[in-house]
Amino acid sequence: MKNFRRGIKAGFPIGLGYLSVSFTFGIMAVSAGLTWWQATLVSMCTVTSAGQFAGLQVMLVPGQYLQMLIAQITINIRYSFMSISVSQKADAKLRGIWRWLLGFMMTDEIFAVASQEETVGRAFFAGLSVLPYLGWSLGTLVGALLGNVLPARLMSALGIAIYGMFVAIVVPEMKKSRPVVFVVLFAVLCSCAFYYIPALARISGGITITVCAVAAAAAGAILFPIEIKEGESSK
């Protein structure tokens, strides 16, 4: 129970961030023609911010199923690698259906928190996932029902909440480690290159995210390898 409460505490800021971001998705989904319950069901069954926003755009032009498949694979493939990474830290109780739940609830923010744990326990990960899931689902529901009531300026402000959440997760780790600072700055430079260089600016956002993440991670692994202590190689 102690680890569950610790997970709840760690997931509280993520849940708040998801509440505001999914609120915007609810508004956009209803504006695109979905009903309030359809928009809410999408968020309850996927829990992927970029994937849902990209999928919504494709839904506006029926029949482009191949485009949707490529976009979703490109945007969400990173969650597979995140799940594999966190599963290496999972304890003996986090198995079976719990592994499926781990993969389902794996997001960038949850991965960032879980990866800081030496061992990811079932109770901790369950607590970590509760508030983000509720925040994402309830935010979509409220946005779909009440979005038209709020002013446009407030809607625009809520749309940048996800970036503030990323900053809150990354900056503390940057203060602790110089290699993390390098990896973050390298990723920023790669992202800027894809934005400002005309030839690269034509590449889709999903592919850009994937390339920047892999390139930064590879650079960090090559320049700042983690030494394996004696006795750890067999674990």
Which pTM value belongs to this model?
Answer: 0.68
* Overall residue count recorded for the chain in this entry: 235
**pLDDT attached to residue 156:** 66
Give the amino acid at 103.
G
**pLDDT attached to residue 177:** 86
Q: Among 214, 10, 12, 183, which Cα is nearest to 113's? A: 10
**pLDDT attached to residue 226:** 73
| Tokens 């402000």 sit on residue | 157
Q: Which residues of the chain have pLDDT under 50?
A: 233-235
